[in-house]
């Protein structure tokens, strides 16, 4: 069974239905990019996948042992979060706190895993730095490391490159791609940047008032909807 199966779901925001007839699936090892215009329901879908709200209609089913505690989540960062006064290592380790109701300390294995993840993401030298003193790109790497600590099967990212410059954005996308390919982490990413985001995805879900597309990235790049929104249809990835 797939990690996630969405069956004929409808999404609503403040009582108004914004998407109907939504069907897609996510298998282990997939990298699904969710795209669409502002207000198309991307963030609402994230809340449904995280169990924070229910679909207005239809079903969202978890399989292959996936539970909420095995999902790592990187939300959009707020101005308050950017000024958070804590050390990098503490923030990364806090990713493990959601796995236990009461957690007075972190195990040796968790500390080692956090250290390994920080090294993979190139922030191991920042472990004792204060988070608020870091650049925007460094902060996103720290939050990504925290989300990976929380994730066992699935990593969900909501506009992770928002507010970052083009160079840092490219670096972030490449890091996520490496986590997917080299660490076998299943990824679901929401992005408004269609052209950049789909470069690394295996599958694309393009949503709007009605579900517009779900399939492989290669098929998406050849589709009319991709031509309409990005002007890049017909190209190979």
Task: Kindly indicate the confidence band of residue 234, based on its pLDDT and cuts at 50, 70 and 90.
Answer: very low
Q: Answer whether residue 107 shows pLDDT above 60.
A: yes
Mean pLDDT for the stretch of residues 99-120: 83
Greatest CA separation for the chain: 54
pLDDT by residue (tens digit) across 31-86?
A: 999 998 888 889 899 999 998 999 999 999 999 899 888 999 998 876 657 778 89
Distance of CA 204 to the CA centre of its chain: 13
pLDDT by residue (tens digit) across 75-100?
A: 887 665 777 889 999 999 999 986 65
pLDDT by residue (tens digit) across 136-173?
A: 899 999 999 999 999 989 999 998 888 888 888 888 89
**pLDDT score recorded for residue 211:** 62
Query: Is the CB of residue 144 less than 8 Å from the CB of residue 160?
Result: yes
Q: How far is CA 74 from CA 22, 68, 85, 203, in A?
A: 23, 14, 19, 19
Q: Answer whether residue 236 shows pLDDT above 50.
A: no
Task: Tell whether the torsion through CA atoms of 181, 183, 30 and 191 is positive or negative.
Answer: negative
**pLDDT score recorded for residue 103:** 60
CA–CA separation, 237 and 224 (whole Å): 16
Query: Is the CB of residue 24 less than 8 Å from the CB of residue 215?
Result: no
CA–CA separation, 20 and 207 (whole Å): 10
Task: Kindly indicate the confidence band of residue 104, based on its pLDDT and cuts at 50, 70 and 90.
Answer: low
Domain ranges of the chain: 1-66+153-237, 82-152
Q: Is residue 81 classed exposed, middle or buried when 0-12, 13-18 and 19+ CB atoms within 10 A define those classes?
A: middle
Question: What architecture is the 1-66+153-237 domain classified under in CATH?
Answer: 3-Layer(aba) Sandwich (3.40)
Query: Is the CB of residue 72 less than 8 Å from the CB of residue 154?
Result: yes
Q: Answer whether residue 179 shows pLDDT above 80.
A: yes
**pLDDT score recorded for residue 229:** 77
Query: Is the CB of residue 38 less than 8 Å from the CB of residue 192?
Result: yes
More reliable by pLDDT, 203 or 226: 203
**pLDDT score recorded for residue 102:** 54
């Amino acid at each position: 069974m797939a990690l996630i199966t969405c069956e004929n779901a409808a999404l609503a925001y403040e009582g108004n239905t914004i998407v109907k007839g939504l069907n897609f699936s996510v298998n282990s090892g997939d990298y699904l990019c969710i795209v669409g215009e502002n207000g198309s329901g991307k963030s609402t879908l994230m809340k449904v996948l995280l169990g924070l709200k229910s679909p207005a209609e239809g079903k969202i089913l978890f399989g292959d042992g996936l539970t909420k505690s095995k999902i790592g989540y990187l939300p959009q960062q707020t101005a308050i979060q950017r000024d958070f006064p804590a050390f990098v290592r503490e923030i990364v380790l806090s990713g493990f706190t959601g796995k236990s109701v009461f957690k007075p300390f972190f195990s040796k294995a968790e500390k080692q895993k956090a250290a390994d993840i920080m090294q993979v993401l190139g922030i191991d030298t920042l472990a004792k730095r204060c988070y608020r003193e870091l650049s925007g790109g460094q902060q996103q790497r720290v939050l990504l490391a925290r989300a990976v600590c929380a994730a066992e099967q699935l990593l969900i990212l909501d506009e992770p490159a928002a507010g970052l410059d083009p160079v840092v954005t490219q670096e972030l996308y490449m890091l996520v791609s490496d986590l997917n390919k080299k660490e076998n982490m299943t990824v679901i990413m929401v992005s408004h940047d269609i052209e950049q985001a789909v470069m690394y995805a295996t599958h694309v879900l393009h949503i709007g008032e009605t579900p517009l597309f779900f399939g492989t990235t290669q098929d998406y790049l050849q589709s009319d909807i991709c031509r309409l929104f990005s002007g890049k249809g017909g190209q190979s990835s």
